[in-house]
Amino acid sequence: MDVQWLLIIHGLLTLLVVVSFLCGQWPIFEGTPIQRIHYFLTFGAYDYFLRFVGSVFGEKAINAILSVEYFCCDRPNPVLQIIYLAIIGITYYFIAKSSFSYIPGYYLSGFHRYTSLLGVGIGVFFFLLTSFTDPGTVKAENVSQYQSAYPYDNIIYTEKECSTCKIPKPARSKHCSICNCCVARFDHHCGWMNNCIGERNTRYFMAFLLWHLFLCLYGIVALGFVLAGRLKELRVVYILTVYYGIENSFRKLAPHVVQWLLGSYNTQILLMVFLAVVSLLLAGFFGYHANLCRTNTTTNETVKWQDHMNWQRKVNEARASAAALKASINGMSSERKPPDSKWKTFFRRSPLEDTGAVVKNNIYDRGILHNVWEVISPPSTRRSFLRTKSKSS
């Protein structure tokens, strides 16, 4: 098998594994091989590994692995932060080593040597800003201000006390078991940032995702122009048509050009595939969180609303079933009527269809402009929040 086909197969398998690992739990992949691969990668493989270690090395080895898992997954640690810095550093190194010798080139000026470094620097800046900014820790000193900023909806949020922090839990907050604190407008705990994403740093998290999406697209386009410039400078198309007699059409030339690129510039091709995969994942993740910002909802609230609506739907169905059973018993006790025709019985609506749709009543959704502004300018950074604090003290 040719090297280029091996590279293509490797790239497709890498794409499948990455998508399955990161996105396999999405509803769109339910019941598909991607969901099964995701389960194997996240649960099945680890379970088989623990069984193998236990059978070969004994229980002490399993306990050692579980202690490492506890450190990496259940406590704050910089492992994924180091991995992020390694990924972005190694990727930039390979791009610089393989392509900077062709810049300036036919299509790119030498200016891009510096803009690429600047782009990576800004990406790392947003990463550090998200990682080390307080996500909105709720303390005894500011809990009353957060309660004023986020009223209870008495649906998914009711007035209660955090059993760990021993302070009232403001609406939209959640106690993070990893960080061991309550976070206002809690979205999720991000292992890559080693920090919660909450009220005060959601804006930086969104900027991080958007900038890295643009950075990946910039890398793909720049590498594409590098390869296009090499094609032009080496007159590959001219050589193929004049010396090898290949017809000057896209359909005839494309396979030969691709073969030449894979043979001569496979590093750039692999980098473009890697950046394309990452950009697709970033685009999906940014789009998901942008929609949450548009509706003033968090990932935590999405789960809460889903559980609430499923419960409400089951309650409505139970009420409808009870009403239908009662009507059926009453009908049996009344005068016997002639049976309906088979066609009428077939097209009759089920009582469960009359339960009505369950409506999501999100009181925090006040229009797209207000919702986006709340992310850009969180309540705790405004003067009104500080005034409320001074009045309550």
Catalytic residue among 190, 196, 216, 293: 190
d(CA 240, CA 229): 16
Per the structure, the complete domain to which residue 54 belongs is given by 30-74
| pLDDT reported for residue 18 | 78
Asked if residue 125 is part of any domain, the answer here is no
What does pLDDT average to in each consecutive run of 10 residues of the chain (393 residues)?
66 80 74 88 86 89 88 85 95 94 90 94 97 95 92 93 94 94 95 94 97 97 94 86 82 84 88 92 92 94 90 84 76 58 55 61 93 94 69 54
| pLDDT reported for residue 185 | 96
Residues in the chain: 393
Asked if residue 51 is part of any domain, the answer here is yes
Angle (deg, nearest 10), helices 266-294 and 202-233: 150
Q: Which amino acid is at 341?
A: S
| pLDDT reported for residue 147 | 92
d(CA 299, CA 288): 9
Asked if residue 164 is part of any domain, the answer here is no
Q: Is 176 a catalytic residue?
A: no
Question: What's the domain count of the chain?
Answer: 1
**How far are the Cα atoms of 37, 311, 356 from residue 305, in angstroms, in the given order?**
28, 10, 17
d(CA 331, CA 322): 14
User: Interior CA angle at 10 toward 6 and 13, to 5°?
Assistant: 140
Is the whole-model pTM more than 0.85? no
- Let me know: does 212 contact 282? Beta carbons within 8 Å: yes
E-only strand ranges, 59-203? 137-138, 160-161, 168-169, 174-176, 181-183, 188-190, 195-197
Q: Which two tokens stand for residue 95?
A: 């791009």
| pLDDT reported for residue 346 | 53
| pLDDT reported for residue 278 | 92
Mode of pairing for the β-strands spanning 195-197 and 188-190 = antiparallel
Asked if residue 58 is part of any domain, the answer here is yes
Asked if residue 268 is part of any domain, the answer here is no
Asked if residue 70 is part of any domain, the answer here is yes
